[in-house]
C-alpha cells in the first residue's frame, strides 16, 4: 500500500527519468548518515566543553540540548526508523523524524470543498501553514499569552505525504491547549484494511499542555491520552452543524496496540473508526477570505465536476 501512496503522490510531478539508484543518491545517503554520526560527536564535544567554562558552562549546556534535541536525535531517528518502521498503512501517522505519531481515528467521504464547509460550519478554524511569520507569531503569542486561533500544527506524514490541511479549536485563548485534527487525502483507489473506500483520513487529538518530547527532547505539545473523547468531539461538532452529514462507524477498526504517539504520550482508544460522509454538505457556506484562494478555486471546480476537481486538488496539494 505504501507503493500505491508513493506512486499516487508522485503522479503530479513530471514523469522524470526514474532510476532506483544513482551515484548522486548514494552520495546523499552517505552524507545523511555521516552527518548524523558527526553530529553525535559535536554533541559530545559541546557537552565535555561545558565543564571547562565555569558559569558559561550553563550556556553550553543549553547549546548541548539544542544540538541534541534538534539536530542529533531527529537525524538518528530518521536513519533508524527508515529501517525499522514499516512503510505501509498501519493506522498511524509518522512524524517528520519517522517516529509513529498520532493515530488515524477518523475518516471522511466527500470532496475537499465539502470537508472545508463541514468543518467551518462546526466552528473549526483552518490552521495556517508553517512559515517563518506563523512560527514567529506562535512564539510571540505564547510569550504574551495572546490568542492565535489559526496557529499552525506540526507536520505529520501519511502515505509519505504531509497532511493536506488541518483544523483546530482554541481552548480559552490559551495557545498550549487546543483541539486539532489533520487531514490526508487517500490515494486514488486506495482501500482501508478491510476493503472500505474513504476519501479522507484524519487524526484528531487534544493538546493539553506544552512539554518535552520523550524521544527527541524537543519542546512540543503533550496530547490527552483519551483520544476517543477528541474523536467523538470532532464527529459530534461536524454532525451537529451539518444536518446533511451522515455517520457510519467501523467498529474495532484498530485494536489496543496503539500505546504512544511521536512525543511519547500514552494513547488509549476503543479502536472504532467513525466515517463521516459530508458529500451532501452545501459548499456555498464558505466565505472566501484572503487565505483561501485555493479553496475558492476548488469550490468552482467541485461545483462543475466533483471527481475531476478532487483529482486536480490532489495533484496540487502533493508536496
Place of cell 485563548: 173
156 SS3 class: strand
Tell me if 29 contacts another protein by CB under 8 A. yes
Q: Is the dihedral of CA 229, 193, 97, 129 positive or negative?
A: negative
Tell me if 38 contacts another protein by CB under 8 A. yes
Return the residue of 3, 22, 244, 248 that touches another protein, per CB under 8 A: 22
**Bridge-based pairing state of the strands 106-109 and 273-277:** parallel
Query: Which whole-number Å values give the CA distances from 99 to 56, 84, 134, in the listed order?
Result: 34, 10, 25
Tell me if 31 contacts another protein by CB under 8 A. yes
DSSP string spanning 32-87?
Answer: HHHHHHHHHHHHHHHHHHGGGSTTHHHHHHHHHHHHIIIIIHHHHHHHHHHHHS-S
Return the residue of 66, 87, 211, 280 that touches another protein, per CB under 8 A: 87
Which residues from 108-167 bind another protein, rule CB under 8 A? 132
Tell me if 57 contacts another protein by CB under 8 A. no
**Bridge-based pairing state of the strands 174-185 and 246-250:** unpaired
Report, in Å, the least distance between residue 8 CB and another protein.
Answer: 12
For residue 249, the number of C-alpha atoms closer than 13 Å in the C-beta half-sphere is: 10
Closer to another protein by CB, 11 or 296: give it: 11
Return the residue of 58, 59, 82, 303 that touches another protein, per CB under 8 A: 82
Do 299 and 282 meet the contact criterion of CB atoms below 8 Å apart? Answer: no
Tell me if 28 contacts another protein by CB under 8 A. yes
Tell me if 34 contacts another protein by CB under 8 A. yes
Size of the site for another protein (CB under 8 A): 45
Tell me if 84 contacts another protein by CB under 8 A. yes
Tell me if 52 contacts another protein by CB under 8 A. yes
Tell me if 248 contacts another protein by CB under 8 A. no
CA distance 22 to 16: 14
Tell me if 191 contacts another protein by CB under 8 A. no
CA distance 138 to 135: 5
Return the residue of 240, 256, 282, 319 that touches another protein, per CB under 8 A: 319
CA distance 42 to 32: 15
Tell me if 189 contacts another protein by CB under 8 A. no
| Region of 48-56, 187-195, 260-268, 295-303 interacting with another protein (CB under 8 A) | 48-56
In the complex, which residues of this chain contact another protein (CB under 8 A)?
10, 12-14, 16, 18-22, 24-36, 38-39, 41-42, 45-46, 49, 52-53, 71, 75, 78-79, 82-87, 132, 318-319
Amino acid at each position: 500500500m505504501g507503493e500505491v501512496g508513493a506512486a499516487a503522490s508522485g503522479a503530479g510531478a513530471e514523469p522524470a527519468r526514474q532510476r532506483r539508484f544513482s551515484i548522486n543518491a548514494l552520495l546523499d545517503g552517505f552524507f545523511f548518515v555521516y552527518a548524523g554520526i558527526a553530529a553525535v560527536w559535536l554533541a559530545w564535544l559541546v557537552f565535555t566543553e561545558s565543564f571547562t567554562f565555569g558559569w558559561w558552562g550553563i550556556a553550553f549546556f543549553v547549546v548541548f540540548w539544542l544540538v541534541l534535541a534538534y539536530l542529533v536525535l531527529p537525524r538518528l531517528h530518521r536513519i533508524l526508523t527508515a529501517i525499522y518502521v514499516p512503510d505501509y498503512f498501519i493506522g498511524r501517522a509518522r512524524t517528520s523524524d519517522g517516529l509513529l505519531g498520532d493515530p488515524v481515528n477518523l475518516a471522511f467521504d466527500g470532496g475537499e470543498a465539502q470537508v472545508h464547509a463541514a468543518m467551518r460550519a462546526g466552528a473549526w478554524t483552518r490552521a495556517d501553514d508553517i512559515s517563518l511569520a506563523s512560527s514567529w507569531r506562535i512564539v510571540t503569542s505564547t510569550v504574551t499569552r495572546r490568542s492565535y486561533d489559526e496557529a499552525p500544527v506540526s507536520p505529520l506524514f501519511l502515505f509519505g505525504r504531509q497532511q493536506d490541511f488541518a483544523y483546530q479549536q482554541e481552548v480559552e485563548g490559551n495557545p498550549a491547549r487546543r483541539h486539532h485534527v489533520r487531514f490526508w487525502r487517500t490515494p486514488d483507489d486506495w482501500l482501508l484494511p478491510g476493503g472500505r473506500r474513504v476519501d479522507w483520513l484524519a487524526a484528531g487529538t487534544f493538546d493539553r499542555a506544552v512539554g518535552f518530547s520523550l524521544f527527541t527532547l524537543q519542546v512540543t505539545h503533550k496530547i490527552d491520552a483519551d483520544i476517543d473523547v477528541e474523536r467523538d468531539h470532532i464527529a459530534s461538532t461536524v454532525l451537529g452543524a451539518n444536518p446533511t452529514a451522515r455517520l457510519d462507524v467501523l467498529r474495532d477498526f484498530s485494536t489496543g496496540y496503539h500505546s504512544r504517539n511521536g512525543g511519547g504520550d500514552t494513547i488509549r482508544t476503543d479502536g472504532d473508526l467513525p466515517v463521516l460522509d459530508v458529500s451532501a454538505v452545501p459548499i456555498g457556506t464558505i466565505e472566501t477570505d484572503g487565505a483561501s484562494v485555493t479553496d475558492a478555486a476548488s469550490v468552482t471546480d467541485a461545483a462543475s465536476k466533483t471527481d475531476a476537481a478532487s483529482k486536480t486538488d490532489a495533484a496540487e496539494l502533493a508536496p
